[in-house]
Structure 1
């Protein structure tokens, strides 16, 4: 099961490698089946694209290219040319196929079509006004990136229900422990 705390699919896709700074980050795209599941759970596609090992390698390469571009933006550094070229190559791909039916619409496509959609949205974020809203979660163990659209742009965590609650609970416990030591 995948998490989508950002509300922005390319950044949620970057989050499929959790806790990047840990000695053993948690890979959520460890198999082609997990990549198919990500596309389904994200709502990008209504049926699994049938990913294989090559598709998985390509998807992970794109994910890491997006992350390197986001990290450069966060650090105020120039974006790496190789990552820009990778992102642009994918963004030029065919779009996901939308079809209207009497009972609704469907989204279908290949892995490359799904990756093209992610790449195009990442280009819009990184090359537009939203780039200034990029943030990384304030919980040290988390490396999820997100767009801070909060009023005042003071959001600290990728998601309040997970990282925010963990940080606040740890702070509370530390305060309680400290006051117990004072007695």
Structure 2
């Protein structure tokens, strides 16, 4: 598996395909159309590789940054820029992924642009709905993954306990051990 899905929310997991975006050299997880195809199939959006090309990859990266810009604005409590909102709405108006019922169950097929339109629609739902109040950014300084905090007290700090939460807690434990020895 090439990609991680720590959020359980596809538009936000898609934003996470640029890892550590505030670092001097962020890690790009979508450097090729083939890895965009892999993201679509690994996420479950498609059962069959959509066959993305360079233009689809460029559109995907633009959409990812557009969603991040709007999420960051929402997190900062800012009014969302009209131009960015209009751009997201245009993308959300695209054709949906084709979902069919067949003898083997449900199948999801379509083009990369249909997948991107689905991600844009999901982002519209989050940003414009009640879930927008649950948006958070991971508290681990090196991580910039955004997620929805559905925890009981809405006090979740990390995108995923398995990765970032474990690293932060381990680092804090080691720091306590070092200071106790001093």
Q: Same fold (TM over 0.5)?
A: yes
Counterpart residue number, 2:18: 17
Give the drift of 1:82: 2.3
Quote the Cα distance in structure 1 between the aligned partners of 2:84 and 2:65.
8
Report the TM-score when normalising by structure 1.
0.98
Displacement over 6 Å in runs of 4+: none
Report the TM-score when normalising by structure 2.
0.98
Counterpart residue number, 2:115: 114
Deviates more, 1:53-62 or 1:76-85: 76-85
CA RMSD of aligned residues (A): 0.6
> Which string of whole-angstrom CA distances, capped at 9 and with x for unpartnered residues, describes residues 16-41 of structure 1?
00001000000001000010000000
1:68/1:80 contact within 8 Å kept: no
Give the drift of 1:155: 0.1
- Are 2:166 and 1:165 aligned? yes
Quote the Cα distance in structure 1 between the aligned partners of 2:84 and 2:35.
24
Quote the Cα distance in structure 2 between the aligned partners of 1:80 and 1:111.
26
Give the drift of 1:81: 2.0
- Are 2:53 and 1:52 aligned? yes
Quote the Cα distance in structure 1 between the aligned partners of 2:9 and 2:63.
16
Quote the Cα distance in structure 2 between the aligned partners of 1:82 and 1:27.
26
Counterpart residue number, 1:6: 7
- Are 2:63 and 1:28 aligned? no
Counterpart residue number, 2:92: 91
Runs of at least 5 residues in structure 1 that lack an aligned partner in the other structure:
none
Quote the Cα distance in structure 2 between the aligned partners of 1:135 and 1:155.
8
Quote the Cα distance in structure 2 between the aligned partners of 1:82 and 1:48.
32
Counterpart residue number, 1:145: 146
Name the SS for the 1:100 alignment partner: strand
Counterpart residue number, 2:69: 68
Runs of at least 5 residues in structure 2 that lack an aligned partner in the other structure:
none
Give the drift of 1:94: 0.6
- Are 2:44 and 1:43 aligned? yes
Quote the Cα distance in structure 1 between the aligned partners of 2:52 and 2:87.
19
